Amino acid sequence: MKIRTIEELHDLLDADLSWRRKELTEIKFLIDNSVGSTLQINLKIGIVLLYAHWEGYVKNSANYYLIYLSRFRFRYDELTENLVTLSLRGRIKSCATTDKVSVHYSVVNTLINQLQTEIRIPFDDVIPVIGILNYDLLYEILFTVGLDIPPFELKQYLIDKVLVKNRNDVAHGVETTIRKDDFYQLYDEIIPMLEQFRNGIYIAAKNKTYRKAIV
């Protein structure tokens, strides 16, 4: 996949959110019109679907952003520290597997003497495909792409204790009852959170917040 312009990025972010919003609206309609055992089955489906779109959209959007950034030829000294770290991650991992000073030196030498070296932002295998999107993983994704963390920090309990816990219980076959109020709370919160994530990605690309501020 190539994302050449900010308009292409914007369109991808919108299109990916649009079909997810439609599916969530449809499952909410089914829940609104269900009673008895059918209601509980639809609530379980709804919880799993809410989580699926939460994980899918956040991971997709973050990856789209990195693909967009990868088209540019940056220097180390032009990028924010999180992206410099990302670009050096493979070499940092190599340092952790050896005691050779010569290997460690290559990273230190880059940071001291090669800051004007041209690099590209990696995107393959950066955003984990496998892994429950609890708050800890969300934090890592937000930090990696350089998005504002505090607004999502306020949702930590909702993410971990309401969304992820209920999803895990259903997905793992635990005998459980999903509260209707929990589904409606998640529905009312998750879609705006996805919109906030989308807006954060787009604004970061538009305002070029990936560039280090010039003092």
Task: List, for residues 182-209, the tens digit of each pLDDT value.
Answer: 999 999 999 999 999 999 999 999 999 9
Q: Are 43 and 3 in contact (CB under 8 A)?
A: no
51: Cα within 13 Å, side-chain hemisphere: 25
Task: List, for residues 5-58, the tens digit of each pLDDT value.
Answer: 999 999 999 999 999 999 999 999 999 999 999 999 999 999 999 999 999 999
How far is C-alpha 190 from the chain's CA centre? 13
Q: Are 67 and 1 in contact (CB under 8 A)?
A: yes
Predicted confidence at residue 177, as pLDDT, reads 95
45 Cβ neighbours under 8 A, 6+ residues apart: 27, 30
Higher pLDDT, 98 or 186: 186
Task: List, for residues 115-147, the tens digit of each pLDDT value.
Answer: 888 888 889 888 987 789 999 999 999 999 999
Rounded to whole angstroms, the Cα distance separating 40 from 95 reads: 51
- pTM of the predicted structure, to 2 decimals: 0.92
pLDDT at 63 over 80: yes
